[in-house]
Structure 1
Amino acid sequence: MATVALGSSLSPLIDRDHQTSSWISASSTTIWTAYPSDGIYTTSGFGGSTEPSGSGDTYVGNVGKPYGSNIIIIPPEQASKYKYVAKFTGSPTGEWKVVIWNKIGPGGRMDGWYGNACRSFALAAGQTKYVAFAPNSQGGWAMTKAASIPKDQYGGYASTWGEFDFGSTENDGWSGFDVSAIQAQYAQLEVQGMQICSALNKGLCSYITKGAKVVHNAYTTSTAELGGIGGNLLPGPVRLAVEIGFEE
């Protein structure tokens, strides 16, 4: 199996030299960005948690028991009850397909993006869907307007990625995210636009426009070996606003 440049952007995601701590209170946010003031978050819908192991690029976090039960699609009115939530919004035109995977696949290898998606859903033009993640989950998502996610010659998802690390045990509960065109560029396939912003940290975003014409705080093949690109978040609730088909 080919080695891909995933570790540079997923492990570690946390860069303590560029930390952000400008939390916005629940009273000033919309419903989905609110969170319990007592710090008690629901785990409804999740399966059991797996024990972490390894370190660095080979770190294995929570992949759910049964596998993939650490990632669930939730109703919008439930979003404020979970600790780690991503809100996906489709572009104004066209329908998108989105798949989400754990970094570690069901066999315990770092191959979650080789056709081992845990969740998939369609986004009609302008539609929004919400996904909750259990603590210590690491992985990514990809999207396409075609019937299936483009793949490289080895079978790996090869469109623009969003990458996540929620409540990492290895990194003392910190979280992180980024947008990456690495896989699409290596495979010489289309780079689609995507933006991820922290809704609780004003101005903290990672995005790439179609064809990688504009790249902001995100990964391309030229930065594949660098660490710390993207959003780095202090321990606490996370609300990510994801724009699929983003154009600046």
Structure 2
Amino acid sequence: MKFSTASIFLAALGASAHPSGHAHKRAHNSLDARGDFVIANKPADPSPTSTPVASPTPSPAAPPAQKAASSSSNSAAGQGSGPSVYTPFCRGNSKRATAQEIAYKGNVGGSGPYGCNLMAVKSNLLDQYQYTVVFENAGDDSTCFCWNKIGPDGGINGFFNGNEALKFDLPAGGKQVLAVDSNSQFGCACGKGGPELTPIGQFASTWVEGDVGNLSNAGWSGFDASSIVAAAAGMDIPGLKVCGTGAQANTCSTIWPGGKGDNAFVGGTEALDGLGLNIPAGKTSVIVTVNYS
């Protein structure tokens, strides 16, 4: 990705809100100097002089699998939890927003329920969505939590326990497809019963971070593996690998158990950017191996 959202989260929270506070100022300086990355603080107030653009327009749909999806299963309809037939992301028409609002906030569900831009679906629907993340479990039974960068109250707090958009079970050897609506900035982390939490309630573990169809970056997408939060809190760092598909199949972002990594945001890399997968506009799918070793 252009810049780890975990880095931005830690910088935005400030030293008093996370264990280390290191690279706080450097991260802000790096972001301020960049012209191709939008700092995602609270959404900007609408500007009367801004040219309105339509955010992604969803169609009526059955209620998405919010908070807790049913246990994963194998069937003729596909592997994993969630719907087995194509289901649009959100209900109702998405409100119109200024370009400034979209650039700051991204897509968190339009006028539908918060978080309905993220949806667990069965594996037979993989090719029917523009942006997908395929989770594969190489270890013990796990539960994964996924969140938007921007939380339900509009702050940079989607990665705190209770603010997640959805969660799903990922049994040993299991697979789960996550469909993601365009212009979404999100993350997911997994662990036994869910990812570990820092003392202030942040999701720790190792994150996969995603930024898909970014309208402020000509529709490009980015993905990476990040252990910045867990490392800053001195907590366990499980392995996780994020790899592209198709033309991106040979590009991966990897963190090994304990914290060493390759093309990934490990502890102490808050000020770096350009790591992970940077993918041109178009249909995109990545494979995330949970409990990688």
State TM-score, norm by structure 1: 0.79
Instruction: Please state how far the C-alpha of 1:49 moved relative to its aligned partner.
Output: 4.5
Give percent identity, aligned residues only. Answer: 32
Q: List 4+ stretches of structure 1 deviating above 2 A.
A: 1-8, 42-45, 48-56
- C-alpha deviation, 1:202, in angstroms: 2.3
1:60 aligns with 2:80: no
- Give the AA of the match of 1:210: P
Structure 2, unpaired ranges of 5+: 1-11, 38-77, 79-84
CA–CA separation in structure 1 for the residues paired with 2:202 and 2:170 = 22
Inter-partner Cα distance in structure 2 for 1:49 and 1:205: 34
Residue among 117, 127, 132 paired with 2:174? 127
| Compared CA separation, residues 104 and 204, structure 1 to 2 (3 A) | same
Q: CA RMSD in A?
A: 2.8
Inter-partner Cα distance in structure 2 for 1:182 and 1:103 = 15
What's the offset of the Cα at 1:53? 6.0
* Residue in 2 that maps onto 1:20: none
Larger Rg over CA atoms: 2
- Taking the aligned partners of 1:218 and 1:175, their CA distance within structure 2 comes to 16
For residues 104 and 235 of structure 1, the distance between their equivalents in structure 2, rounded to whole angstroms, comes to 22
Q: Which has the higher contact order (CA 8 A, sep 6+)?
A: 1
Which residue of the partner structure matches residue 176 of structure 1?
222
Match runs of 1:163-242 below 5 Å: 163-200=209-246, 201-212=248-259, 214-242=260-288
Residues 52 and 60 of structure 1 are in contact (CA less than 8 Å); yes or no, is this contact kept in structure 2?
no
Q: 1:78 aligns with which of 98, 102, 125?
A: 125
Query: Is the contact made by 1:167 and 1:235 (CA closer than 8 Å) also made in structure 2?
Result: yes
Task: Name the CA shift for 1:148/1:130 in 2 (closer, same or farther; >3 Å).
Answer: closer
Q: TM-score, normalised by structure 2?
A: 0.67
Deviates more, 1:45-54 or 1:72-81: 45-54
Structure 1 CA distance for aligned equivalents of residues 222 and 121 of structure 2: 21
8 Å Cα contact 2:140-2:291 kept in structure 1: no
Structure 1 counterpart SS, 2:258 = helix
- Equivalenced residue count is 215
| Post-superposition offset of 1:55 | 8.2
SS of equivalent residue, structure 1 residue 221: coil
Q: How far does residue 45 in structure 1 lie from its aligned partner after superposition?
A: 3.1
SS in 2 for 1:163: strand
CA separation in 2, counterparts of 1:114 and 1:131? 20
Q: For residues 136-195 of structure 1, what are the alpha-carbon distances to aligned partners after superposition, in whole Å with 9 as ceiling and x for unaligned? A: 0001001112x3421112211111111000000111100000000100011111000000
- Residues 86 and 125 in structure 2, CA contact (< 8 A), matched pair in contact too: no
